[in-house]
Structure 1
Amino acid sequence: MVNKILTNCFLCISSCSGSSDAMARRPFILWLHGLGDSGPANENVKTVFKSPELSDAKWLFPSAPYNPVTCNNGRVMPSWFDVPELPFKAGSRIDEASILEAVKNVHAIIDEEIARGTRPENVFICGLSQGGALTLASVLLYPKTLGGGAVLSGWVPFTSSVINQFPEQAKKTPILWSHGTDDELVLFEAGQAALPFLEQAGVTCEFKAYPGLAHWMSNKELQYIESWIKSRMQSSSSSS
Protein backbone atom coordinates (compact mmCIF):
# COMPACT_ATOMS: atom_id res chain seq x y z
CA MET A 1 0.00 0.00 0.00
CA VAL A 2 2.77 2.43 0.95
CA ASN A 3 4.77 1.66 -2.18
CA LYS A 4 1.68 2.25 -4.33
CA ILE A 5 1.16 5.67 -2.79
CA LEU A 6 4.80 6.57 -3.23
CA THR A 7 4.63 5.47 -6.87
CA ASN A 8 1.86 8.01 -7.35
CA CYS A 9 4.11 10.64 -5.76
CA PHE A 10 6.93 9.74 -8.13
CA LEU A 11 4.60 10.11 -11.11
CA CYS A 12 3.74 13.59 -9.85
CA ILE A 13 7.42 14.43 -9.50
CA SER A 14 8.36 13.01 -12.89
CA SER A 15 5.62 14.95 -14.67
CA CYS A 16 7.12 18.33 -13.68
CA SER A 17 9.11 20.16 -16.30
CA GLY A 18 11.69 22.92 -16.26
CA SER A 19 15.39 23.51 -16.78
CA SER A 20 17.85 21.71 -14.55
CA ASP A 21 19.18 25.04 -13.29
CA ALA A 22 15.70 26.24 -12.32
CA MET A 23 15.01 22.95 -10.57
CA ALA A 24 18.23 23.22 -8.61
CA ARG A 25 17.33 26.69 -7.36
CA ARG A 26 13.67 26.24 -6.51
CA PRO A 27 12.59 24.99 -3.08
CA PHE A 28 10.87 21.65 -2.70
CA ILE A 29 8.41 21.50 0.20
CA LEU A 30 7.13 18.10 1.31
CA TRP A 31 4.12 18.36 3.63
CA LEU A 32 3.19 15.39 5.84
CA HIS A 33 -0.32 15.39 7.29
CA GLY A 34 -1.51 14.16 10.68
CA LEU A 35 -3.17 10.93 11.75
CA GLY A 36 -6.44 10.22 9.94
CA ASP A 37 -6.00 13.12 7.51
CA SER A 38 -4.98 13.23 3.85
CA GLY A 39 -2.56 15.11 1.62
CA PRO A 40 -5.17 16.89 -0.52
CA ALA A 41 -6.95 18.15 2.62
CA ASN A 42 -3.79 20.11 3.51
CA GLU A 43 -3.10 21.72 0.16
CA ASN A 44 -4.68 25.01 1.27
CA VAL A 45 -1.51 25.56 3.32
CA LYS A 46 0.06 26.83 0.09
CA THR A 47 -2.28 29.82 0.02
CA VAL A 48 -0.66 31.26 3.16
CA PHE A 49 2.78 31.29 1.53
CA LYS A 50 2.64 34.50 -0.53
CA SER A 51 6.31 35.48 -0.78
CA PRO A 52 7.65 36.04 -4.30
CA GLU A 53 10.72 34.02 -3.30
CA LEU A 54 8.49 30.96 -2.93
CA SER A 55 6.29 31.53 -5.97
CA ASP A 56 8.04 28.76 -7.89
CA ALA A 57 8.24 26.37 -4.94
CA LYS A 58 7.31 22.80 -5.70
CA TRP A 59 4.93 21.31 -3.15
CA LEU A 60 4.06 17.68 -2.56
CA PHE A 61 1.21 16.54 -0.29
CA PRO A 62 1.28 12.73 -0.16
CA SER A 63 -1.38 10.74 1.70
CA ALA A 64 -0.54 8.09 4.26
CA PRO A 65 -1.59 4.48 3.65
CA TYR A 66 -4.48 2.94 5.57
CA ASN A 67 -3.22 1.04 8.60
CA PRO A 68 -4.65 -0.21 11.91
CA VAL A 69 -3.84 2.22 14.72
CA THR A 70 -3.41 0.94 18.26
CA CYS A 71 -4.46 4.14 20.04
CA ASN A 72 -7.80 3.99 18.18
CA ASN A 73 -8.54 0.38 19.15
CA GLY A 74 -7.03 -0.99 15.96
CA ARG A 75 -9.26 1.05 13.68
CA VAL A 76 -7.93 1.29 10.12
CA MET A 77 -7.25 4.86 8.99
CA PRO A 78 -4.65 6.94 7.14
CA SER A 79 -1.54 6.57 9.28
CA TRP A 80 2.16 6.86 8.54
CA PHE A 81 3.04 4.51 11.41
CA ASP A 82 1.42 2.97 14.48
CA VAL A 83 0.68 5.21 17.47
CA PRO A 84 0.37 3.19 20.71
CA GLU A 85 -1.31 5.89 22.78
CA LEU A 86 -2.94 9.32 22.70
CA PRO A 87 -2.90 11.92 24.13
CA PHE A 88 0.84 11.88 23.60
CA LYS A 89 2.85 12.97 26.62
CA ALA A 90 6.55 13.24 27.33
CA GLY A 91 7.60 9.60 27.73
CA SER A 92 4.60 8.06 25.95
CA ARG A 93 5.10 4.69 24.26
CA ILE A 94 6.33 4.65 20.67
CA ASP A 95 6.64 2.03 17.93
CA GLU A 96 10.11 2.62 16.51
CA ALA A 97 9.91 -0.28 14.03
CA SER A 98 6.91 1.13 12.16
CA ILE A 99 8.40 4.63 12.29
CA LEU A 100 11.60 3.42 10.64
CA GLU A 101 9.58 1.79 7.87
CA ALA A 102 7.73 5.05 7.25
CA VAL A 103 11.05 6.93 7.14
CA LYS A 104 12.23 4.72 4.26
CA ASN A 105 9.25 5.83 2.19
CA VAL A 106 9.84 9.53 2.88
CA HIS A 107 13.50 9.11 2.00
CA ALA A 108 12.48 7.55 -1.31
CA ILE A 109 10.50 10.70 -2.16
CA ILE A 110 13.45 12.94 -1.22
CA ASP A 111 15.90 10.79 -3.18
CA GLU A 112 13.72 10.99 -6.27
CA GLU A 113 13.46 14.77 -6.04
CA ILE A 114 17.20 15.22 -5.58
CA ALA A 115 17.83 12.86 -8.49
CA ARG A 116 15.63 15.16 -10.58
CA GLY A 117 18.04 18.02 -9.89
CA THR A 118 16.84 19.75 -6.70
CA ARG A 119 19.66 20.66 -4.35
CA PRO A 120 19.43 19.00 -0.91
CA GLU A 121 19.69 22.42 0.79
CA ASN A 122 16.47 23.44 -0.98
CA VAL A 123 14.51 20.48 0.35
CA PHE A 124 12.19 21.30 3.26
CA ILE A 125 10.10 18.75 5.12
CA CYS A 126 7.11 19.98 7.14
CA GLY A 127 4.62 17.96 9.13
CA LEU A 128 1.73 18.29 11.55
CA SER A 129 1.22 15.99 14.56
CA GLN A 130 2.04 12.43 13.41
CA GLY A 131 3.43 14.01 10.24
CA GLY A 132 5.59 16.21 12.45
CA ALA A 133 7.02 13.18 14.22
CA LEU A 134 7.73 11.59 10.84
CA THR A 135 9.33 14.84 9.64
CA LEU A 136 11.76 14.80 12.54
CA ALA A 137 12.60 11.13 12.06
CA SER A 138 13.07 11.52 8.30
CA VAL A 139 15.36 14.53 8.63
CA LEU A 140 17.51 13.06 11.40
CA LEU A 141 18.09 9.81 9.52
CA TYR A 142 18.68 11.24 6.05
CA PRO A 143 22.33 10.96 4.90
CA LYS A 144 22.52 14.54 3.58
CA THR A 145 22.00 18.01 5.04
CA LEU A 146 18.60 19.33 3.95
CA GLY A 147 17.21 22.85 3.99
CA GLY A 148 15.26 22.21 7.16
CA GLY A 149 12.55 20.30 8.96
CA ALA A 150 9.50 22.09 10.39
CA VAL A 151 7.61 20.18 13.09
CA LEU A 152 4.13 21.41 14.03
CA SER A 153 2.62 19.95 17.22
CA GLY A 154 4.69 16.81 16.86
CA TRP A 155 6.71 14.58 19.15
CA VAL A 156 10.06 12.81 19.29
CA PRO A 157 9.44 9.34 17.81
CA PHE A 158 12.67 7.84 19.14
CA THR A 159 14.40 6.89 22.33
CA SER A 160 17.85 8.34 22.94
CA SER A 161 19.38 4.99 21.91
CA VAL A 162 18.75 5.91 18.25
CA ILE A 163 20.88 9.07 18.41
CA ASN A 164 24.02 7.18 17.40
CA GLN A 165 22.30 6.27 14.12
CA PHE A 166 21.95 9.89 13.02
CA PRO A 167 24.37 10.68 10.16
CA GLU A 168 26.69 13.61 10.81
CA GLN A 169 25.31 15.46 7.77
CA ALA A 170 21.75 15.02 9.07
CA LYS A 171 22.66 16.72 12.33
CA LYS A 172 23.41 19.90 10.37
CA THR A 173 19.82 20.18 9.15
CA PRO A 174 18.05 22.84 11.27
CA ILE A 175 14.75 22.07 12.97
CA LEU A 176 11.91 24.52 13.58
CA TRP A 177 9.47 23.31 16.24
CA SER A 178 6.06 24.97 16.64
CA HIS A 179 3.66 23.92 19.40
CA GLY A 180 0.47 25.29 20.90
CA THR A 181 0.43 25.64 24.67
CA ASP A 182 -3.18 24.34 24.83
CA ASP A 183 -2.58 21.25 22.71
CA GLU A 184 -4.79 18.52 24.17
CA LEU A 185 -3.74 15.70 21.83
CA VAL A 186 0.05 16.07 21.75
CA LEU A 187 0.73 17.84 25.00
CA PHE A 188 2.97 20.88 25.09
CA GLU A 189 5.32 18.97 27.39
CA ALA A 190 5.87 16.43 24.60
CA GLY A 191 7.02 19.23 22.34
CA GLN A 192 9.29 20.68 25.01
CA ALA A 193 10.89 17.24 25.47
CA ALA A 194 12.35 17.62 21.99
CA LEU A 195 14.77 20.31 23.14
CA PRO A 196 17.01 18.21 25.42
CA PHE A 197 16.78 15.29 22.99
CA LEU A 198 17.98 17.37 20.05
CA GLU A 199 20.61 19.11 22.16
CA GLN A 200 21.99 15.70 23.12
CA ALA A 201 22.04 14.76 19.42
CA GLY A 202 23.85 17.97 18.49
CA VAL A 203 20.99 19.27 16.35
CA THR A 204 20.02 22.95 16.15
CA CYS A 205 16.36 23.56 17.01
CA GLU A 206 14.34 26.76 17.21
CA PHE A 207 11.29 26.26 19.45
CA LYS A 208 8.22 28.49 19.01
CA ALA A 209 5.39 28.33 21.56
CA TYR A 210 1.94 29.56 20.49
CA PRO A 211 -0.12 30.59 23.55
CA GLY A 212 -3.73 29.40 23.46
CA LEU A 213 -3.28 27.29 20.32
CA ALA A 214 -4.79 23.79 20.54
CA HIS A 215 -3.91 20.80 18.35
CA TRP A 216 -3.90 22.53 15.01
CA MET A 217 -2.00 25.17 13.07
CA SER A 218 -2.57 28.90 12.82
CA ASN A 219 -1.85 31.36 10.01
CA LYS A 220 0.64 33.07 12.30
CA GLU A 221 2.47 29.78 12.70
CA LEU A 222 2.49 29.12 8.95
CA GLN A 223 3.66 32.65 8.18
CA TYR A 224 6.63 32.17 10.49
CA ILE A 225 7.46 28.87 8.79
CA GLU A 226 7.36 30.72 5.47
CA SER A 227 9.83 33.34 6.70
CA TRP A 228 12.02 30.61 8.19
CA ILE A 229 12.18 28.75 4.86
CA LYS A 230 13.02 32.02 3.08
CA SER A 231 15.87 32.69 5.52
CA ARG A 232 17.21 29.18 5.00
CA MET A 233 17.09 29.65 1.21
CA GLN A 234 19.04 32.90 1.50
CA SER A 235 21.56 31.25 3.79
CA SER A 236 22.14 28.37 1.38
CA SER A 237 22.41 30.77 -1.59
CA SER A 238 25.00 32.95 0.12
CA SER A 239 27.12 29.94 1.07
CA SER A 240 27.09 28.38 -2.41
Structure 2
Amino acid sequence: MARTFILWLHGLGDSGPPNEPIKKVFKSSELKNTRWLFPTAPYNPVSCNNGRVMPSWFDVPELPFRVGSPIDESSVLEAVKNVHAIVDQEIAQGTNPENVFICGLSQGGALTLASVLLYPKTLGGGAVLSGWVPLSSSIISRVPKEAKKTPILWSHGTDDELVLFEAGQAALPFLEEAGVTCEFKSYPGLGHSISNKELQYLESWIKRRLQSSSSTFLHLNCFKSIFHSR
Protein backbone atom coordinates (compact mmCIF):
# COMPACT_ATOMS: atom_id res chain seq x y z
CA MET A 1 0.00 0.00 0.00
CA ALA A 2 1.42 3.37 -1.05
CA ARG A 3 2.16 5.85 1.70
CA THR A 4 -0.16 8.77 2.31
CA PHE A 5 1.02 11.99 3.91
CA ILE A 6 -1.29 14.33 5.83
CA LEU A 7 0.09 17.66 6.99
CA TRP A 8 -2.11 19.31 9.62
CA LEU A 9 -1.75 23.07 10.24
CA HIS A 10 -3.19 24.38 13.51
CA GLY A 11 -4.93 27.66 14.21
CA LEU A 12 -3.59 30.92 15.63
CA GLY A 13 -2.08 30.57 19.10
CA ASP A 14 -2.36 26.80 19.10
CA SER A 15 0.40 24.22 18.60
CA GLY A 16 0.83 20.92 16.81
CA PRO A 17 0.77 18.26 19.59
CA PRO A 18 -2.75 19.05 20.95
CA ASN A 19 -4.12 18.33 17.48
CA GLU A 20 -2.60 14.87 17.18
CA PRO A 21 -5.72 13.06 18.52
CA ILE A 22 -7.41 14.06 15.24
CA LYS A 23 -5.70 11.15 13.51
CA LYS A 24 -7.52 8.69 15.78
CA VAL A 25 -10.76 9.59 14.00
CA PHE A 26 -9.32 8.29 10.73
CA LYS A 27 -9.80 4.54 11.11
CA SER A 28 -10.13 3.41 7.47
CA SER A 29 -7.85 0.60 6.32
CA GLU A 30 -6.97 2.69 3.27
CA LEU A 31 -5.27 5.17 5.58
CA LYS A 32 -3.27 2.72 7.68
CA ASN A 33 -0.06 3.59 5.86
CA THR A 34 -0.38 7.30 6.55
CA ARG A 35 2.33 9.57 7.89
CA TRP A 36 0.87 12.46 9.85
CA LEU A 37 2.75 15.63 10.68
CA PHE A 38 1.52 18.25 13.17
CA PRO A 39 4.09 21.06 13.15
CA THR A 40 3.93 24.05 15.47
CA ALA A 41 4.03 27.55 14.02
CA PRO A 42 6.93 29.84 14.95
CA TYR A 43 6.37 32.46 17.65
CA ASN A 44 5.57 35.81 16.07
CA PRO A 45 3.94 39.09 17.11
CA VAL A 46 0.32 39.21 15.92
CA SER A 47 -1.30 42.51 15.02
CA CYS A 48 -4.89 41.50 15.86
CA ASN A 49 -3.71 40.67 19.40
CA ASN A 50 -1.94 43.99 19.96
CA GLY A 51 1.43 42.59 18.91
CA ARG A 52 1.37 39.77 21.43
CA VAL A 53 3.87 37.02 20.57
CA MET A 54 2.31 33.60 20.02
CA PRO A 55 2.48 30.63 17.63
CA SER A 56 1.39 32.14 14.32
CA TRP A 57 2.03 31.07 10.74
CA PHE A 58 1.72 34.67 9.50
CA ASP A 59 0.48 38.04 10.72
CA VAL A 60 -3.28 38.55 11.06
CA PRO A 61 -4.26 42.24 11.01
CA GLU A 62 -7.86 41.74 12.13
CA LEU A 63 -10.16 39.29 13.90
CA PRO A 64 -12.99 38.47 13.61
CA PHE A 65 -12.26 37.94 9.94
CA ARG A 66 -14.97 39.32 7.67
CA VAL A 67 -15.40 39.77 3.95
CA GLY A 68 -12.98 42.56 3.09
CA SER A 69 -10.81 42.23 6.21
CA PRO A 70 -7.19 43.31 5.60
CA ILE A 71 -4.52 40.67 4.96
CA ASP A 72 -0.72 40.63 5.22
CA GLU A 73 0.07 38.81 1.99
CA SER A 74 3.86 39.12 2.30
CA SER A 75 3.96 37.20 5.58
CA VAL A 76 1.56 34.61 4.13
CA LEU A 77 3.89 34.03 1.19
CA GLU A 78 6.83 33.55 3.58
CA ALA A 79 4.85 30.93 5.49
CA VAL A 80 3.96 29.17 2.23
CA LYS A 81 7.67 28.64 1.56
CA ASN A 82 7.99 26.70 4.82
CA VAL A 83 5.01 24.49 4.01
CA HIS A 84 6.35 23.82 0.53
CA ALA A 85 9.70 22.78 2.03
CA ILE A 86 7.91 20.16 4.17
CA VAL A 87 5.99 18.83 1.16
CA ASP A 88 9.11 18.81 -1.01
CA GLN A 89 10.94 16.72 1.57
CA GLU A 90 8.07 14.21 1.78
CA ILE A 91 7.91 13.83 -2.00
CA ALA A 92 11.71 13.46 -2.16
CA GLN A 93 11.34 10.49 0.23
CA GLY A 94 9.14 8.75 -2.31
CA THR A 95 5.56 9.77 -1.53
CA ASN A 96 3.42 10.32 -4.63
CA PRO A 97 2.35 14.01 -4.72
CA GLU A 98 -1.23 12.86 -5.33
CA ASN A 99 -1.12 11.10 -1.95
CA VAL A 100 -0.15 14.32 -0.16
CA PHE A 101 -2.90 16.21 1.67
CA ILE A 102 -2.61 19.55 3.45
CA CYS A 103 -5.31 20.29 6.03
CA GLY A 104 -5.75 23.19 8.39
CA LEU A 105 -8.07 24.95 10.82
CA SER A 106 -8.66 28.71 10.89
CA GLN A 107 -5.28 30.40 10.26
CA GLY A 108 -3.93 26.96 9.36
CA GLY A 109 -6.78 26.61 6.88
CA ALA A 110 -5.90 29.93 5.28
CA LEU A 111 -2.28 28.78 4.99
CA THR A 112 -3.46 25.45 3.55
CA LEU A 113 -5.28 27.28 0.78
CA ALA A 114 -2.32 29.51 -0.07
CA SER A 115 0.12 26.57 0.01
CA VAL A 116 -1.97 24.38 -2.29
CA LEU A 117 -2.66 27.18 -4.77
CA LEU A 118 1.01 28.03 -5.14
CA TYR A 119 2.54 24.55 -5.14
CA PRO A 120 4.00 23.61 -8.56
CA LYS A 121 2.57 20.07 -8.55
CA THR A 122 -0.89 18.53 -8.28
CA LEU A 123 -1.43 17.26 -4.74
CA GLY A 124 -4.07 14.90 -3.38
CA GLY A 125 -6.04 17.79 -1.94
CA GLY A 126 -6.28 20.68 0.44
CA ALA A 127 -8.84 20.78 3.28
CA VAL A 128 -9.74 24.17 4.72
CA LEU A 129 -11.70 24.13 7.97
CA SER A 130 -13.11 27.49 9.12
CA GLY A 131 -10.47 29.34 7.12
CA TRP A 132 -10.32 32.35 4.84
CA VAL A 133 -8.64 33.54 1.65
CA PRO A 134 -5.35 35.14 2.78
CA LEU A 135 -4.34 36.29 -0.71
CA SER A 136 -5.38 39.13 -3.00
CA SER A 137 -7.01 38.41 -6.35
CA SER A 138 -3.76 39.47 -8.07
CA ILE A 139 -2.26 36.12 -6.98
CA ILE A 140 -4.64 34.23 -9.29
CA SER A 141 -2.38 34.85 -12.30
CA ARG A 142 0.45 33.13 -10.39
CA VAL A 143 -1.40 29.88 -9.68
CA PRO A 144 0.54 27.11 -11.51
CA LYS A 145 -1.35 25.01 -14.06
CA GLU A 146 -0.74 21.82 -12.05
CA ALA A 147 -1.96 23.43 -8.82
CA LYS A 148 -5.33 24.13 -10.42
CA LYS A 149 -5.92 20.36 -10.55
CA THR A 150 -5.63 20.00 -6.75
CA PRO A 151 -9.14 19.81 -5.28
CA ILE A 152 -10.19 21.85 -2.25
CA LEU A 153 -12.60 20.78 0.48
CA TRP A 154 -13.96 23.75 2.44
CA SER A 155 -15.79 23.15 5.73
CA HIS A 156 -17.34 26.03 7.66
CA GLY A 157 -19.76 26.38 10.56
CA THR A 158 -22.67 28.75 10.00
CA ASP A 159 -22.32 30.15 13.54
CA ASP A 160 -18.59 30.90 13.30
CA GLU A 161 -18.01 34.24 15.06
CA LEU A 162 -14.23 34.37 14.59
CA VAL A 163 -14.04 33.71 10.84
CA LEU A 164 -17.50 34.62 9.65
CA PHE A 165 -19.36 32.15 7.48
CA GLU A 166 -19.66 34.79 4.74
CA ALA A 167 -15.87 35.12 4.68
CA GLY A 168 -15.63 31.40 4.03
CA GLN A 169 -18.21 31.60 1.26
CA ALA A 170 -16.19 34.36 -0.38
CA ALA A 171 -13.61 31.72 -1.28
CA LEU A 172 -15.96 30.20 -3.87
CA PRO A 173 -15.85 33.00 -6.48
CA PHE A 174 -12.12 33.44 -5.80
CA LEU A 175 -11.40 29.76 -6.50
CA GLU A 176 -13.75 29.69 -9.47
CA GLU A 177 -11.82 32.55 -11.04
CA ALA A 178 -8.58 30.68 -10.33
CA GLY A 179 -9.95 27.57 -12.06
CA VAL A 180 -9.79 25.43 -8.93
CA THR A 181 -12.44 22.87 -7.95
CA CYS A 182 -13.88 23.42 -4.47
CA GLU A 183 -16.46 21.44 -2.54
CA PHE A 184 -18.04 23.69 0.10
CA LYS A 185 -19.64 22.03 3.13
CA SER A 186 -21.62 24.13 5.60
CA TYR A 187 -22.28 22.90 9.14
CA PRO A 188 -25.42 24.47 10.67
CA GLY A 189 -24.98 25.62 14.27
CA LEU A 190 -21.23 24.97 14.37
CA GLY A 191 -19.03 27.75 15.70
CA HIS A 192 -15.28 28.22 15.29
CA SER A 193 -14.32 24.64 16.04
CA ILE A 194 -13.99 21.18 14.52
CA SER A 195 -16.76 18.61 14.76
CA ASN A 196 -16.43 14.85 14.43
CA LYS A 197 -18.87 15.09 11.54
CA GLU A 198 -16.43 17.34 9.68
CA LEU A 199 -13.52 14.98 10.34
CA GLN A 200 -15.50 11.91 9.28
CA TYR A 201 -16.43 13.58 6.00
CA LEU A 202 -12.82 14.67 5.52
CA GLU A 203 -11.73 11.06 5.94
CA SER A 204 -14.17 9.86 3.27
CA TRP A 205 -13.09 12.72 0.99
CA ILE A 206 -9.42 11.75 1.30
CA LYS A 207 -10.29 8.09 0.67
CA ARG A 208 -12.03 9.05 -2.58
CA ARG A 209 -9.00 11.04 -3.68
CA LEU A 210 -6.72 8.09 -2.91
CA GLN A 211 -8.89 5.67 -4.87
CA SER A 212 -8.94 8.04 -7.83
CA SER A 213 -5.15 8.44 -7.67
CA SER A 214 -4.65 4.66 -7.39
CA SER A 215 -6.91 4.01 -10.40
CA THR A 216 -4.97 6.50 -12.49
CA PHE A 217 -1.67 4.93 -11.44
CA LEU A 218 -2.89 1.42 -12.35
CA HIS A 219 -4.22 2.63 -15.68
CA LEU A 220 -0.89 4.24 -16.54
CA ASN A 221 1.04 1.12 -15.53
CA CYS A 222 -1.22 -1.08 -17.65
CA PHE A 223 -0.75 1.26 -20.58
CA LYS A 224 3.04 1.13 -20.17
CA SER A 225 2.97 -2.68 -20.01
CA ILE A 226 0.95 -2.93 -23.20
CA PHE A 227 3.17 -0.39 -24.92
CA HIS A 228 6.41 -2.14 -23.94
CA SER A 229 5.10 -5.58 -24.88
CA ARG A 230 4.68 -4.55 -28.49
How would you bin the TM-score normalised by the shorter chain? over 0.9
Per-residue Cα deviation, 1:161-186 (whole angstroms, up to 9, x for no partner): 11001100001000000000000000
Give aligned pairs, total.
217
Structure 2 counterpart of 1:9: none
**Secondary structure of 2:6's aligned partner:** strand
Amino acid aligned to 2:13: G
Q: Where does 1:2-41 land on structure 2 (aligned, <5 Å)?
A: 25-41=2-18
Structure 2 counterpart of 1:44: 21
Structure 2 counterpart of 1:17: none
Aligned match for 2:47, one of 57, 64, 70: 70
Structure 1 counterpart of 2:227: none
CA RMSD of aligned residues (A): 0.5
Structure 2 counterpart of 1:232: 209
- Provide TM-score, normalisation by structure 1: 0.90
**Secondary structure of 1:207's aligned partner:** strand
Structure 2 counterpart of 1:95: 72
Cα drift, residue 55 of structure 1: 1.3
Amino acid aligned to 1:79: S
CA distance in structure 1 between the partners assigned to 2:28 and 2:96 by the alignment: 20
Cα drift, residue 91 of structure 1: 1.0
- Provide TM-score, normalisation by structure 2: 0.94
**Secondary structure of 1:155's aligned partner:** coil
- Structure 1 segments, 4+ long, off by >2 Å, are none
Aligned match for 1:174, one of 151, 156, 162: 151
Structure 2 counterpart of 1:107: 84
**Secondary structure of 1:142's aligned partner:** coil
Cα drift, residue 159 of structure 1: 1.1
Structure 1 counterpart of 2:182: 205
CA distance in structure 1 between the partners assigned to 2:107 and 2:17 by the alignment: 16
Per-residue Cα deviation, 1:7-46 (whole angstroms, up to 9, x for no partner): xxxxxxxxxxxxxxx5xx1110000000000000100101
Per-residue Cα deviation, 1:130-157 (whole angstroms, up to 9, x for no partner): 0000000000000000000000000001
CA distance in structure 1 between the partners assigned to 2:67 and 2:27 by the alignment: 35
**Secondary structure of 1:117's aligned partner:** coil
- Runs (5+) with no aligned partner, structure 2: 218-230
CA distance in structure 1 between the partners assigned to 2:199 and 2:25 by the alignment: 7
**Secondary structure of 2:213's aligned partner:** helix
Per-residue Cα deviation, 1:177-229 (whole angstroms, up to 9, x for no partner): 00000000000000000000000000000000000000000000000000000
CA distance in structure 1 between the partners assigned to 2:175 and 2:187 by the alignment: 20
- Runs (5+) with no aligned partner, structure 1: 1-21
Cα drift, residue 108 of structure 1: 0.2
Which entry has the higher C-alpha Rg, 1 or 2? 2
Amino acid aligned to 2:206: I
CA distance in structure 2 between the partners assigned to 1:116 and 1:50 by the alignment: 25
CA distance in structure 2 between the partners assigned to 1:47 and 1:109 by the alignment: 22
Structure 2 counterpart of 1:3: none
Structure 1 counterpart of 2:224: none
